[in-house]
Amino acid sequence: MSKKIAGFLLLLLGAAVCYPIFFLFTGSLMGTGELQNHLGAALSLGEQPMSWSLLPLTPTLRHYVQLLLDSPEFFHMFWNSAALTAGILAGQLLAGVPAAWGFARYAFPFKKLLFTLYILLMMMPFQVTMLSSYLVLSEMQLTDTLPAVILPGAFSTFPVFIMYRFFCGIPQALMDAARIDGAGERDIFLHLGIPLGSSGIVSAVVLGFLESWNLIEQPLTFLKSKKLWPLSLYLPNISPERAGISFAASVVTLLPALMVFLCGQDYLEQGIVAAAVKE
Amino acid sequence: MGRRKHALTGILFLLPSLAGVCIFVLIPFLDVTLRSFQNAVTRTWTGLDNYRILFRTPAFRLAVKNTLRFTGICIPLLICMSLFISVFLQRLKRLGSLLKSAFLLPMAVPVASVVLLWRVTFHEDGFLSLLAVSTGHEAVDWMNSGYAFWVLVFSYIWKNLGYDIVLWMAGLSGIPYNLYEAARVDGAGEWTCFFKITLPSLKPVLYTITVLSFLNSFKVFREGYLAAGDYPDESMYLLQHLFNNWFREMDFDKLAAAAVLMVLVIFGLVSLLKRSWDLEE
């Protein structure tokens, strides 16, 4: 009996936790007038007290149409976000997968020291490296370009650590067998390491995607011109009169992350756990 | 001979990543460390002056105080809540895994998408005030009062609850079931089982959860910044706001000193925590 009550309470809590997402979807389908009636007070558009209804009275896709057809700046920001995310992920894979493989499967001098360094760097919040990144980026005259956000992100050590954990799980015997068969080290990496460690790579990509799609501090610090901004900086600047557009834009921003979450949830959980279990 | 050849291969695999890390993080950070002992404009040596100025800046003290308060309240709260929920979810089997996804979902939601909801909820005439008025309290401009701090606590918990639940559940699934069976045969109740078996077995996980929750706590700046801007209410002015403002005002000497201090503190905290846990085991 008490189990049922606990289950019910948790179900309520879970629904409450997910409600904000539902709220955005319903809001984006409400007409302008309906939104004004509901939210006018908080958006300083009217005097009526706040209200909300679970579902829209007169559902409409108008805001989406407006957003997709009449807001060129939205498209621009969307592609900026996409370019940043793609660039960061590509860099993380190109540099990170071999590095994780090197750490996991080979012994070389100073390995322990270097690995500790990677873990330490992974733990530093952005604010710590903000000035140092800025100095080197302005030295390279990259500030206020998309690579200013992409390059430091591409060399993040967090994905290396995640993939390292998965590569460590590949049995040594397989590598030895491949060597006896005369496979070169590069072939072992490409044909044995990458396929067998693929779930680790996907985990790192899922975590990396959610992080890069949500970047705020980095573009805020390194990008001055608004035309380079990603969606995450654009959304809060939509004026309150365009509440409908704001809702629709929020949903469109949310969708890619939601897709990645739903398709990659198992990998996401594996990635989270990989960062935590003891060696 | 073979070993050395393979050592070289290992280094070659690591090289692209290491080169990037050196160029974009390590070498410039050494430069920042040097700058923290120099005057930002003339770059002459000033010894510990930057650090002294730092401690005399009221904004710095306020930000340190708030950040400490924030981590001190959020992390224990989050850890206890997520553990409590995980223990129940563990027993629910199928519904449990569905609910785990539900709690994890906020992690995927971009901060910018929910700012709108935060605004209409915490505005003076917003939903929360509506609730306050209907229960006989007064409407409050939540983001511009001491409550702003609690709004931040709330966003942090909302966003990170699922992450910690996943970690706890991984730890819980590692406890052998026959331990509980044996204890029940000996007449142990639910609570005894929890305190004598569950908690002690989770101790190693507790260390990593604490560290990861601490690291994630820095990201709450995103919510804070998007909802309240550069200068939010005093109660939620965190170190991250201060760093951001100093950067904009080009206060590079203070920023350098503060960055060096922050590295030391994080490094110290993480190793201290690790040592105290290792000693206990």
pLDDT in tens, B196-246: 888 888 887 888 888 889 888 988 888 888 888 888 888 889 999 999 999
Q: Which of B11, B17, B212 sits opposite A155 (nearest CB)?
A: B17
Higher pLDDT, B54 or B139: B54
Residue B241 makes CB contacts below 8 A (sequence gap 6+) with B63, B221, B224, B225, B230, B231, B232
Q: Which residues of A touch B110 (CB under 8 A)?
A: 213-214, 231-232, 253-254, 257
Residue A97 touches partner B, C-beta closer than 8 Å: no
Domains and CATH numbers, chain B: 56-280 (1.10.3720.10)
Domain boundary among the residues A17, A35, A60 is at A60
**Total structural domains within chain A:** 2
Measured at the CA of A38, the angle between CA A36 and CA A39, to 5 degrees, comes to: 70
What is the per-residue pLDDT for B262? 92
Report the residue count for chain A: 279
Q: Number of A:B CB contacts under 8 A?
A: 267
Same domain, A138 and A207: yes
Q: Return the percent helix, strand and coil in chain A, to nearest 5.
A: 75, 0, 25
Q: Report the percent of chain A where pLDDT is more than 70.
A: 97
In which domain, by residue range, is A54 found?
2-60
Specify the residue for token string 């899922």. Answer: A206
Q: Within a domain: residue A209?
A: yes
Q: Within a domain: residue A39?
A: yes
Same domain, A201 and A242: yes
Eight-state DSSP code of residue A49: P
For residue range B7-39, list pLDDT tens digits in order.
Answer: 889 999 999 999 999 999 999 999 999 999 988
**Yes or no, beta carbons of B113 and A235 under 8 Å apart:** yes
Q: Which residues of A touch B247 (CB under 8 A)?
A: 130-131, 134, 221
Same domain, A129 and A189: yes
Q: Within a domain: residue A65?
A: no
What is the per-residue pLDDT for B3? 55
For residue range A26-79, list pLDDT tens digits in order.
Answer: 888 988 888 877 877 777 766 677 778 778 888 888 889 888 888 888 888 999
Residue A189 touches partner B, C-beta closer than 8 Å: yes
pLDDT confidence bin for A279, thresholds 50/70/90: very low
Residue A147 touches partner B, C-beta closer than 8 Å: no
Same domain, A31 and A137: no
| ipTM of the modeled complex | 0.88
Helix locations, chain B, DSSP H: 2-21, 27-35, 49-56, 58-91, 94-104, 111-122, 127-134, 147-173, 177-185, 190-193, 199-201, 203-217, 221-228, 239-248, 252-280
For residue range A124-165, list pLDDT tens digits in order.
Answer: 899 999 999 999 999 999 989 999 999 999 999 999 999 999
For residue range B36-85, list pLDDT tens digits in order.
Answer: 998 877 888 888 888 999 899 999 999 999 999 999 999 999 999 999 99
Lookup: tokens for A176: 């030895």
Instruction: Look at residue B2 and tell me whether its pLDDT is greater than 70.
Output: no
Q: Within a domain: residue A66?
A: no
> Are the C-beta atoms of B45 and B38 separated by less than 8 Å?
yes
Q: Report the percent of chain B where pLDDT is more than 70.
A: 96
Instruction: Look at residue A259 and tell me whether its pLDDT is greater than 90.
Output: yes
Rounded distance, CA B131 to CA B53, Å? 45
Rounded distance, CA B83 to CA B184, Å? 22
Q: Residues B106-113: what's their mean pLDDT? A: 88
56-85 of A, contacting B, C-beta below 8 A: none
Same domain, A171 and A245: yes
Residue A204 touches partner B, C-beta closer than 8 Å: no
Q: What is the pTM of this model?
A: 0.90
Same domain, A252 and A202: yes
CATH code for the domain in which residue A198 is found: 1.10.3720.10
A153 to chain B: closest CA residue:
B24
29-88 of B, contacting A, C-beta below 8 A: 29, 31-32, 85, 88
Neighbours of A88 (CB within 10 A): 26
Same domain, A112 and A20: no
A248 to chain B: closest CA residue:
B113
- Sequential DSSP letters for chain A: -HHHHHHHHHHHHHHHHHHHHHHHHHHHHS-HHHHHHHHTTTTTS--SPP---SS-SS---HHHHHHHHH-HHHHHHHHHHHHHHHHHHHHHHHHHHHHHHHHHH---TTHHHHHHHHHHHHHS-HHHHHHHHHHHHHHTT-TTSTHHHHHHHHT-SHHHHHHHHHHHTS-HHHHHHHHHTT--HHHHIIIIIHHHTHHHHHHHHHHHHHHHHT--HHHHHH--SGGG--HHHHGGGS-GGGHHHHHHHHHHHHHHHHHHHHHSHHHHHHHHHHTTS--
Distances in whole angstroms, Cα of residue B216 to Cα of each of A22, A124, B210, B213, B242: 25, 10, 10, 5, 18
CA-based nearest distance A256→chain B, Å: 9
Q: Which of A27, A107, A272 sits opposite B167 (nearest CB)?
A: A272
Q: Within a domain: residue A170?
A: yes
Q: Within a domain: residue A279?
A: no
Q: Report the percent of chain A where pLDDT is more than 90.
A: 51
Neighbours of A178 (CB within 10 A): 17
Rounded distance, CA B110 to CA A20, Å? 12
> Are the C-beta atoms of A223 and A80 separated by less than 8 Å?
no
Same domain, A149 and A55: no
